[in-house]
C-alpha cells in the first residue's frame, strides 16, 4: 500500500483547486519552494506591516535609494542574517550575500545559500529589487 502524501502547508497565493483542503498544497518533497517563499516574505515585508509583530521583515524595497555609505545600507547583510535567524529558525545553516554592484541603477541583489536536512546539496534563493524588476 503506498504511503499517503504528507503536506507541509498551503501554497501561496492561494489557488482554489480540487485538492485535499481545496487549495494547492506543498508536499514535503517541495520544501525548497516553501523555504524560498518564506525568505521572500521576510525580505520584502516592511517592518510594521505585520500588525502582530511590528519588527518582522527587512523591507528590501526601502534600501533602493539609500547611499552606499549610509549605516543602514552597510548593515543590510547583517540585518537579513539576523531576521532569518530570528524568524526562520529551521534554517540552521545559511549564508547571505548582498550584491551592490548595480546600486547606482537602484538595484540590489540578495542571495541566500542554505542547506536543508535530508537534501544533499546547497540551495540558492536569489532576490532582486529595483525599479525595472518585477518580483
- Does 123 fall in a domain? yes
- Does 67 fall in a domain? yes
- Does 105 fall in a domain? yes
Residues contacting 91, CB < 8 A, separation 6+: 35, 84, 114
Residue 123 structural domain? 36-129
44-77 residue pLDDT tens: 999 999 899 999 999 998 888 888 788 988 899 9
pLDDT at 130: 84
Q: How confident is the model at residue 30 (pLDDT cuts 50, 70, 90)?
A: confident
CATH of the domain at 80: 3.10.450.40
87-104 residue pLDDT tens: 998 888 899 999 988 867
- Does 26 fall in a domain? no
- Are 42 and 84 a contacting pair, CB within 8 Å? yes
Q: Please tell me the total count of domains within the chain.
A: 1
- Does 100 fall in a domain? yes
pLDDT at 131: 79
Amino acid at each position: 500500500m503506498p504511503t499517503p502524501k504528507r503536506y507541509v502547508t498551503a501554497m501561496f497565493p492561494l489557488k482554489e483547486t480540487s485538492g485535499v483542503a481545496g487549495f494547492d498544497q506543498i508536499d514535503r518533497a517541495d520544501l525548497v519552494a516553501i523555504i524560498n517563499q518564506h525568505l521572500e516574505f521576510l525580505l520584502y515585508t516592511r517592518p510594521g506591516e505585520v500588525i502582530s509583530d511590528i519588527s518582522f521583515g527587512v523591507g528590501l524595497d526601502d534600501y533602493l535609494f539609500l547611499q552606499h555609505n549610509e549605516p543602514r545600507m552597510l548593515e543590510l547583510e547583517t540585518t537579513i542574517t539576523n531576521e532569518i535567524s530570528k524568524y526562520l529558525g529551521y534554517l540552521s545553516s545559511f549564508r547571505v550575500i548582498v550584491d551592490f554592484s548595480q546600486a547606482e541603477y537602484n538595484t540590489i541583489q540578495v542571495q541566500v545559500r542554505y542547506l536543508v536536512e535530508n537534501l544533499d546539496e546547497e540551495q540558492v534563493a536569489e532576490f532582486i529589487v529595483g525599479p525595472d524588476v518585477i518580483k
